[in-house]
Amino acid sequence: MKLEFSKEKLTAALGIVSRAIPSRTTNPILECILFDADGSTIKLTANDTEFGIETAVEGTILEHGKVALDAKLTYEIIRKLEGGESPVTIESKADFSTVISCEDAVFNIQGRDGEEFSYLPVIDKDNYICLSQFTLKEAVRKTIFAAAFNDTNKMMGGEYIEVRGNMVKFVALDGHRISIRSVEMKETYNDAKVIVPGRTMSEISKIMTDDSEKEVLIYFSRNHILFSFDETTIVSRLIEGEYFRIDHMLSRDYMTKVKVNRTRLLNSIDRATILIRESDHRPIIFDIKDGMMKLKVKSSFGTMDGSVSCEKEGKDLMIAFNPKFMLDALRAVDDEDVDIYLTNSKSPCYIRDEKESYIHLILPVNFVV
């Protein structure tokens, strides 16, 4: 096999597929990227058997073939080559020893037989939806932070995707909060319900562009989900099981409603966190009265008092939250003002818009005044 690339395009493609390389594995082939030039195009693939990425890269095929190269080593070599106008050449011999060269730099590394590599599974493409890359990227960004990546409960480490007609809903939760984003699609599709590993959704949101004109096709099968956009295909195994009954966790009842400027509230909470270390588990206390929301934090470093003007309907209320959860939710909202719905100091609060295109539920915490 002998291939030529521009450094810029090869580096970009390697950056995409490298996201599927596992951080730890006992199988050396999973630490490799497959360079496949058996056909008319050059494809790079990485696959840890649970999550795989394949992308086509522009280049010149001088000799057909395939070889698996260590992902980290290859990426570092390509990234540090001079590049410019000179092409990057990758030439693999019969014993899979591989020469990577560009201008006066020549690297000799040992590759592996590409036939050992596990290709991405073939997915039935009957059931799918279509979104813009921007829409999917934003939906993931504004929900995935609520997933519990380090939890032993796989459900809480995933993102729930539900399709109903022309609406698709994205949900993430960790037992203390829930974040929901609902998106209206241009067309009506078959209903679907899947739980996608949080890692998959997080990596996809990093790879996709912010272009609202570019589309992504999402295909659903019994055990896998496939994302197809630009020249890239991503396949992930789904989390098995029945997701939490979200509708039973949500309520539209409230005793207090607050409308407040999102940026001012976010900045006030952000200032308060200066005095809080993550290990302290110190809450931020909200004292809500007519026309004013007072904030208070007390920690071993000192105290902070702040206030934000607001519009209040209903009863006065004092309630406390984990400040990080409140910050995450506010950062996921684009509206200038946010509506916060509360019942009492022991019940969850809801940050949501009138159309419920987004809902953030946050459980309160105990506090001492």
> Is residue 218 within 8 Å of residue 226, measured between CB atoms?
yes
106-112, long-range: CB within 8 Å, 24+ apart, which pairs? 107/77, 109/69, 109/70, 109/73, 109/74, 109/77, 111/32, 111/67, 111/68, 111/69, 111/70, 112/28, 112/29, 112/32, 112/67, 112/68, 112/69
| Tens of pLDDT, residues 146-178 | 999 876 788 999 999 999 999 999 999 999 999
Q: What is the pLDDT of residue 275?
A: 87
The arithmetic mean of pLDDT across residues 91-108, rounded, is 95
Tell me the HSE value of 221 on the side-chain side, using a 13 A CA sphere.
Answer: 13
Q: Is the dihedral of CA 15, 16, 20, 26 positive or negative?
A: negative
In the predicted model, is pLDDT for residue 182 greater than 80?
Answer: yes
Quick check: 119 pLDDT over 90?
no
pLDDT at 280 over 80: no
pLDDT score of 150: 76
Map out the domains of the chain with their CATH numbers: 2-116 (3.10.150.10), 128-248 (3.10.150.10), 250-362 (3.10.150.10)
Q: Which residues contact 13 (CB under 8 A, 6 or more apart)?
A: 44, 55, 56, 57
pLDDT band at 19 (very low <50, low <70, confident <90, very high): very high
Q: Average the pLDDT over 248-252 and give the result.
A: 93
Where residue 105 falls among pLDDT bands split at 50, 70, 90?
very high
Residue type, 223: N
- Length of the chain equals 369
More confident residue, 50 or 150: 50
pLDDT at residue 149, rounded to an integer: 81
Q: Alpha helix locations (H) across the chain?
A: 7-17, 71-80, 133-141, 198-207, 246-249, 262-272, 323-331
What average pLDDT does this structure show over 243-256? 94
Position 83 pLDDT exceeds 80: no
- For the chain, how big is the Rg over CA atoms in Å? 25
